[in-house]
């Protein structure tokens, strides 16, 4: 059986705050187990998180292009976005074409109301 890591140990390994680690655990970004009131993470779950979140340079550039394309499409259509809302939009509309269709549907709905 693997020795389970504390959020403090995970934070040290990832060089992030304990608060962020606990946010990731609550959000399910890092798979963990809660024993009583304490979170624990297996080394294999931590490695899985690292593997899933490690991007090569071309992927980062592609991601940056997606965000700038998203900004161009949205323009001033909506209030300034938080990172969470941008991520949610990216999940719901993985392509710019789907996002444009979604905006058009919302506009039509607003006009009919």
- What is the DSSP track for 4-27? PBPHHHHHHHHTS-HHHHHHHHHH
C-alpha to C-alpha distances, 100 to 10, 36, 93, 95, 106, nearest whole angstrom: 40, 46, 9, 9, 10
What is the pLDDT, as a whole number, of residue 73?
Answer: 53
Q: Please, is 20 exposed, middle or buried when counting C-beta atoms within 10 Å of its C-beta (0-12, 13-18, 19+)?
A: middle
Give pTM, 2 decimals: 0.50
Which tens digit of pLDDT belongs to each residue from 19-58?
999 999 999 999 999 999 999 999 999 999 998 888 765 5
The rounded distance, in Å, linking the Cα atoms of 5 and 24 is: 14
Specify the residue for token string 């040290």.
12
DSSP letter for 101, please.
Answer: H
């Amino acid at each position: 059986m693997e020795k389970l890591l504390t959020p403090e140990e995970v934070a040290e390994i990832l060089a992030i705050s304990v608060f962020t680690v606990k946010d990731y655990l609550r959000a399910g970004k890092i798979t963990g187990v809660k024993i009583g009131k304490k979170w624990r993470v297996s080394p294999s779950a931590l490695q899985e998180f690292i593997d899933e979140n490690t991007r090569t340079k071309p992927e980062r550039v592609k991601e940056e292009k997606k965000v700038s394309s998203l900004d161009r499409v949205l323009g001033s259509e909506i209030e300034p976005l938080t990172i969470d809302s941008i991520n949610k939009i990216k999940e719901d509309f993985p392509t710019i074409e789907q996002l444009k269709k979604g905006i058009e549907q919302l506009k039509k709905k607003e006009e009919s109301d």
